Amino acid sequence: MTNTAATPRWVRAKYNSPLGAMTLAASAQGLCGLWFDGQAHQPDPQHWEFVPTHPVLQAAATQLAAYFAAQRARFELPLDLSLGTPFQQSVWERLRAIPYGVTQSYGDIARYLGQPAASRAVGAAVGRNPLSIIVPCHRVVGSTGALTGYAGGLERKVALLQLEKAL
Band (pLDDT 50/70/90 cuts) for residue 8 is low
Q: Which domain holds residue 96?
A: 86-163
Question: Is residue 43 assigned to a domain?
Answer: no
- Cα separations (Å) of 80 from 11, 62, 143, 145? 13, 18, 29, 30
The structural domain count of the chain equals 1
Residue 45's pLDDT is what?
86
Residue 124, domain member (yes or no): yes
Mean pLDDT of 109-118: 96
How far is 89 from 99, CA to CA, in rounded Å? 18
CB atoms within 10 A of CB 3: 6
Burial of 124 (0-12, 13-18, 19+ CB in 10 A): middle
Average pLDDT (69-81) is: 97
Q: What residues are labeled active site?
A: 137
Query: What percent of the chain shows pLDDT beyond 70?
Result: 95
In this prediction, residues 120-138 reach a mean pLDDT of 96
